[in-house]
Amino acid sequence: MPERYPPIHPKCPHFLHGGDYNPDQWPEAVWAEDMRLMKLAHCNAMSVGIFAWARLEPAEGQFDFSWLDRIMDLLADNEAYAVLATPSGARPAWLSQTYPEVLRVRPDRGRNLHGVRHNHCFTSPVYREKTRLVSTKLAERYKDHPALLVWHMSNEYSGECHCDLCRDAFRAWLQNRYGTLDALNQAWWTTFWAHTYTDWSQLEPPSPIGERSVHGLNLSWKRFITDQTVDFMLHEMAPLRELTPDVPITTNFMGTYPGLNYWMIAPHLDVISWDSYPRWHGEQPDHELACSVAFVHDINRCLKGGKPFMLMESTPSMTNWMSVAKLKRPGMHRLSSLQAVAHGSDTVQYFQWRKSRGASEKFHGAVVDHVGTEDSRVFRDVAELGQCLEKLDDVVGTTVHPDVAVVYDWENAWAIDDAQGPRHEKGYLPTCQRHYRAFWKRGVPVDVIDMDQPLDGYKLVVAPMLYMVRPGVAERLEAFVEAGGTLVATYWSGIVDENDLCHLGGFPGPLRKLLGIWDEEIDALYPGDVNHIVPKDGNALGLCHEYEARELCALVHAESAHVLARYKSDFYAKRPALTVNEFGSGEAYYIASRNDDAFLHDFYAALATRLRLQRALIATLPEGISATLRTDGNRHFAFLMNFNSRPATIDLGPASYTDLLTGRTITGETVLHTYGVMVLAD
Ligand code: GLA
Ligand code: ZN
């Protein structure tokens, strides 16, 4: 793991600042004004061509790059760079009309009409051929252009198609994965409800008008969708790899979008990017929301092992598709943008540069509003942020190597969501985020990884609700703990295998030995129900309060584990609620119930002290203040951020720092303004 990564492209050793730019929507007379405004906004990178297919190929086989040539030249002349997109996210009408097979088929097996975007078949040979052709033309034309910096594959790959081509590809995928129908029937437990398959041609993708009760099928379909999307992307990417081997490639992800397992896509990209649209100033307090956003930023940093990512899209003001499109309050633009940087982004980019005049995004936030000038609050916010980024060159390429990893796993999420029981809302993602929050509040950096990632280098691995345990995972967790690591697992772990078949022989299945418990049953509680857990006197973690347990309470037997807390009431009063198992040189904790935040706070505070977990700053962080770290292994950059709508005071102690944003020396009692940010260099 390098201490410091090179910039995204060696051409530009600075933060990228800019946004989705659609000059194709505007007359050429506007373009020179765009360039003038970009300079004023301190922008240096524009994402172009994202939905421009109809302008690039107005009729089949007739390409027109003249307008894009001029845009690329204008960017280069103005010392700006292009994040150049392949246009497959939306296609020209002639393409759907001539080749209806490119139109996506819904799960109910109806074929869509032409319209909107992100609605093509990923398998269609015609669509693949057409996207490959336009990618080839783009790469041939711009491969040596000085403005070309990064390739932006398509836009937000998503969704699924249920056409016959996709169904056939799915059958082939299943044959390849399972080999024989016997193996498939076994893995999917198809004797249930007489669902045994006797011919491959009987297999259909899950559908609301057909099969949806075989979990192995549902899981396979989701895996197939990811693989087929990757396959499509690689097809579209091949000419770029061949013609521009030195130009990095990305595609914009959507946070924890459940439709694709981003861990399977990441290895095919050079740099990760994502589109972040939090609901600031909404029903959830900003400081709680900030923590959930931080969690997703950390996933994106981890998708390539700590390599800085790109914030490809964010709104400079409001997001028009939200039920309430609230404006970002003064200061929030700067704060939310620098929060991405604080967690490892080397860019701040927007949707969109210039607000559309018509159609469904005409009211979406943009740097340049319909007024068309620099004289707007939002424009000034963006320009101010651009100036901040220009002061942070030393931060480009830096990263963090946390002591703690929280496991959030897509396949596990799929399997948990599909299961009927022990309650409808099982809350896997919010549970992972609640555990994460205990560290966020203390300024302890955290990686967020899936269950297949290497664990060496961590002191603590927290794997909430590890319902699915795929082959090899238990062995790696055992090796980690044996070598001195600490594992925290919870209720509803070790229940199913990689095919969504229950582990036999006692839960938590393959984790039973490591955790030293047998999890016999799980009780689901109604929303008003509450139990409590009572720490044992003199427990090694120093826990001394009762805590609330709600929603899910596992009934466990301590085998080799020691009991640290017990349930207070109900028929399982006095049964173990928190255990620890010594295993090799390490320890494995089991939290048997869904406990309140006070428990998570105290429990992880005790572990943080015991394990001496690295912190961004040695300071007690008041509520709503977050501190993160980026380092090149030599210099440390602590980002101190106030997500409260009021100023906050923090005591930084005797150490002295320079705030890179203001150049001021900072020490001792320090006031952070409302939504204030400091970048403290040592
Ligand atoms: C997504 C898309 C953009 C735009 C924004 C609006 O992230 O990628 O094209 O539609 O949403 O928020
Ligand atoms: Zn299809």
Q: Under CATH, what is the fold of the domain 625-681?
A: Immunoglobulin-like (2.60.40)
Q: What is the pLDDT of residues 237-283, one digit of tens each?
A: 999 999 999 999 999 999 999 999 999 999 999 999 999 999 999 99
- Rounded Cα gap, residues 325 and 318, in angstroms: 6
pLDDT for 3 equals 82
Q: Are 425 and 470 a contacting pair, CB within 8 Å?
A: no
- The CB of 313 under 6 Å from ligand 1? The reply is yes
Residue nearest to atom 4 of ligand 1 (CA): 351
pLDDT for 652 equals 97
pLDDT for 1 equals 67
- Rounded Cα gap, residues 321 and 308, in angstroms: 29
Residue nearest to atom 3 of ligand 1 (CA): 351
Half-sphere exposure of 168 (CA within 13 A, CB side): 7
- Rounded Cα gap, residues 529 and 198, in angstroms: 47
Query: Counting atoms of ligand 1 from 1, which one is nearest the CA of 320?
Result: 12
pLDDT for 84 equals 98
Q: Which of 587, 582, 601, 590 is nearest to 543 (CA)?
A: 601
Cα(103) to ligand 2 centroid in Å equals 8
Specify the DSSP element, H or E, that contains 550: strand 547-558
pLDDT for 89 equals 97
Q: What is the pLDDT of residues 171-224, one digit of tens each?
A: 999 999 999 999 999 999 999 999 999 999 999 999 999 999 999 999 999 999
Q: What is the pLDDT of residues 497-538, one digit of tens each?
A: 999 999 999 999 999 999 999 999 999 999 999 999 999 999
The DSSP annotation for 43-87 comes to --EEEE-TT-HHHH-SBTTB---HHHHHHHHHHHHTT-EEEEEPS
- For the chain, how far is it from start to end, CA to CA, in angstroms? 23
- The CB of 318 under 6 Å from ligand 1? The reply is no
Q: Which of 137, 136, 151, 145 is nearest to 72 (CA)?
A: 145
The CA-CA-CA angle for residues 106, 109, 114, to 5°, reads 50
- The CB of 275 under 6 Å from ligand 1? The reply is yes
Q: Are 24 and 17 a contacting pair, CB within 8 Å?
A: no
Q: Which CATH class name applies to 16-162+245-395? A: alpha beta
- The ligand with the least distance to the CA atom of 122 is 2
Known catalytic residues are 156, 313
In total, the chain counts a number of residues equal to 682
Cα(460) to ligand 2 centroid in Å equals 43
Cα(351) to ligand 1 centroid in Å equals 6
Q: What is the pLDDT of residues 340-394, one digit of tens each?
A: 999 999 999 999 999 999 999 999 999 999 999 999 999 999 999 999 999 999 9
Q: What is the pLDDT of residues 275-320, one digit of tens each?
A: 999 999 999 999 999 999 999 999 999 999 999 999 999 999 999 9
Q: Strand order of the sheet with strand 310-313?
A: 252-253, 273-275, 310-313
Residue nearest to atom 12 of ligand 1 (CA): 319
3-class DSSP assignment, residue 628: strand
- Rounded Cα gap, residues 51 and 3, in angstroms: 37
pLDDT for 280 equals 98
> Model confidence at 2, in pLDDT bands (50, 70, 90)?
confident
Domain with CATH 3.20.20.80 in the chain: 16-162+245-395
Domain with CATH 2.60.40.1180 in the chain: 625-681
Residue nearest to atom 7 of ligand 1 (CA): 275
Q: What is the pLDDT of residues 424-480, one digit of tens each?
A: 999 999 999 999 999 999 999 999 999 999 999 999 999 999 999 999 999 999 999
Cα(104) to ligand 2 centroid in Å equals 6
Q: What is the pLDDT of residues 27-53, one digit of tens each?
A: 999 999 999 999 999 999 999 999 999
Cα(298) to ligand 2 centroid in Å equals 33
Q: Under CATH, what is the fold of the domain 404-611?
A: Rossmann fold (3.40.50)
Q: What is the mean pLDDT of residues 544-555?
A: 98
Residue nearest to atom 5 of ligand 1 (CA): 351
- Rounded Cα gap, residues 83 and 12, in angstroms: 12
pLDDT for 446 equals 98
- The ligand with the least distance to the CA atom of 164 is 2
